Every structure is written in structure tokens, then in C-alpha cells.
Amino acid sequence: MEQTLLRKCSERKLPQFFTSRIQKLKWRSLSLVSNSERPLIEVQAVSRIYSLGAVPVAALQGVSFTVAKGEFVAIVGKSGSGKSTLLNLIGGMDRPTSGEIIVAGRTISQMSRDELAHYRRNMVGMIFQAFNLIPSMSAWENVAMPMLFAGKAQSERQARAKELLARVGLAHRYNHRPVELSGGEQQRVAIARALVNDPYFLLADEPTGNLDSRTSDEIVHLLHHIHQQGKTVLMITHDHILAEQLSTRIITLKDGEIICDEAHKPALTNLQS
Ligand code: ADP
Ligand code: MG
């Protein structure tokens, strides 16, 4: 069933005329509602042109969508479709060439450097394909690292890291360094780190890309659990099965444009209900 939906999705492309009209109407109505009713994330006509070489590359072209609190959105598309570019923009690591990204009512492009650093540290929880843990640090130190900048005392950081490591099933790996952990355990430490400052949402880039299928299942169930507990998740993947299992919505990118944006029933919920 979901496969059919996805196939249909990948074949359909809304004419630009209609998408821009719909988006304009949405923005007009947005200005009439209060902040609490606004979507958590608003991506408005975002383009990103890389102009390093002789020929400019339009990695994203006029991309618009909103994400409400509590959604689990999978952004899918082939290699080179613009997924990582979009993730970098929403994560505050890059700026759009044109368009706006608004999170919890705040326009990212209008943030100062300090505000942007605060945004990346406290509002977004990043999960990467390669885990990106610091090899010289123990599991708890990695988890607590984002708290260092907030000037929290060591006792508070340790207590919070312990709580998060227990939540991802790794209380017994508290003092282990990444090299002493399996790939799945490393990713669980990275997920604990992403949650440590209780961000508004998680941004995951191919979170199971470096894992074997059994370990990958553990991470899938952990992400599912975190979403069930109320966390909004945006996950970038080229793995359709992963998107099918977890997401409440699937956005398909092709050549820097959204070709489909559909609600979806996550397969994991189907199995459990
Ligand atoms: P995906 O993550 O879906 O594979 P990317 O967002 O990485 O896609 O890339 C989208 C397009 O932008 C590709 O054509 C890629 O070659 C190009 N691109 C990505 N990053 C850069 C960069 N820093 N400079 C120039 N072109 C880039
Ligand atoms: Mg990529």
C-alpha cells in the first residue's frame, strides 16, 4: 500500500504555478494566526545556488513546506537531489541564497552569529550518518558536550548524561569511549547527545546509513520511541523502507524541487496497533 503511494508520489510533480499559489495563500493565513498556532518549521521559497565553479549549481529551487510540532517527516530523494543542502539550511549551518526559514516564529536568516550558535545548540538536535562523536571523550562526555557551552556544572552535566544514556539503553556504557562501542551503540550515544538540551526537533541525516540491518532496526525503534514521546523529527534518507517505517509524512525531492509531499501512515505503528 505504502509502496504504491510512494511510487505514485515519485511520478507526480505539482505545476510550479499551483504550488506557489497555494503557498502564498498559506502565508497570508499564517499572518492572521497567533504564534502558538504557527507550524514549528516554515520553509518559504528557499533556493540555494552554489556558485563556486564556473557553472552555478541550483541545489534547491523555490522549496516551500511547513512542519507542525509532532510530525515525523522523511525527506527522500536520489543522491544529488538537494537533501543535505536542505538539512544544512534548516540546521542553521548554511544560509539560503533566497527565501526564508522560520523556526518557532524566529527567522533564521535574521539571527546574529551568537543567536545562530544558540539555535544550533539548543533548538536543533543533529544526528549524522557517521555519528560524529569525539573519539577522546567518554560516552557521557560526548552526550554532555552541548551543555558545556551553557556553562552547566559538571555534576549537572553528568546527571543529565546519565539520564539520557539510560533512555537510549546505554547506562552501562557510561565511561566507554567511542572506539569501545559498536556502531549501533555509537549512534545511540549520538542520539542521546542530540536530545541533551531538549531541542525543538531532531534533524537526522541517514541515521542508519552506516549500520547493518539488525543494528539499524534498533535505531529505527529508538527513533520511533522518541517520536512517540512527542519529539518532532525531520529525517533525510534515500532509504524508502526507513521512510515507510517511521514517517507520518514523506517529502520527495528531485533536482532541488519538491515533487511530492504526502501524509503517510508509519508501518511501525501499523504493526503495533
Ligand atoms: P543530496 O544530499 O540529496 O545527495 P546535496 O544537497 O548534497 O544532495 O547536493 C545537491 C546538489 O548540489 C548536487 O548537484 C551537488 O553536487 C551540489 N552541491 C552540494 N554541495 C555543494 C557545494 N558545497 N558546492 C557546489 N555544489 C554543491
Ligand atoms: Mg546528502
pLDDT of residue 9: 58
- 84 Cα nearest atom in ligand 1: 2
Q: What is the pTM of this model?
A: 0.86
Closest listed ligand to the CA of 78: 1
Query: Ligand 1 mean position to 59 CA, how many Å?
Result: 6
Low-confidence residues of the chain, pLDDT below 50?
Answer: 1-7, 10-34, 270-273
Q: What is the rounded average pLDDT for all residues in the chain?
A: 87
If you count them, how many residues does the chain have?
A: 273
In the chain, where does DSSP find H-type helix? 2-11, 16-30, 83-90, 113-118, 139-148, 154-167, 183-195, 213-228, 240-246, 267-272
pLDDT of residue 36: 60
The protein residue with its alpha carbon nearest to ligand 1, atom 27, reads 50
pLDDT of residue 273: 37
Return d(Cα 113, Cα 111) in angstroms, integer.
7
Neighbours of 248 (CB within 10 A): 17
Return d(Cα 189, Cα 170) in angstroms, integer.
8
The protein residue with its alpha carbon nearest to ligand 1, atom 18, reads 59
Q: Which residues line ligand 1 (CB under 6 A)?
A: 50, 52, 57, 59, 77, 79-85
CA 43, 48, 50 angle in degrees (round to 5)? 165
Return d(Cα 223, Cα 234) in angstroms, integer.
11
Closest listed ligand to the CA of 82: 1
Distances (CA, A) of 193 to 95, 104, 131, 151, 201: 24, 22, 10, 16, 13
pLDDT of residue 35: 53
Query: Ligand 2 mean position to 238 CA, how many Å?
Result: 9
Query: Ligand 1 mean position to 264 CA, how many Å?
Result: 27
The cell 557553472 sits on which residue? 55
Query: Ligand 1 mean position to 177 CA, how many Å?
Result: 33
The protein residue with its alpha carbon nearest to ligand 1, atom 14, reads 80
Are the C-beta atoms of 201 and 227 separated by less than 8 Å?
Answer: no
The protein residue with its alpha carbon nearest to ligand 1, atom 16, reads 80
DSSP 167-212: HTT-GGGTT--GGGS-HHHHHHHHHHHHHTT--SEEEEESTTTTS-
2-13+69-92+112-272 has which fold?
Rossmann fold (3.40.50)
Could you state, in order of their start, the residue ranges of all structural domains in the chain?
2-13+69-92+112-272
The protein residue with its alpha carbon nearest to ligand 1, atom 6, reads 82
Query: Ligand 2 mean position to 272 CA, how many Å?
Result: 31
pLDDT of residue 191: 97
Query: Ligand 2 mean position to 111 CA, how many Å?
Result: 25
The protein residue with its alpha carbon nearest to ligand 1, atom 7, reads 84
Query: Ligand 2 mean position to 109 CA, how many Å?
Result: 22
Closest listed ligand to the CA of 83: 1
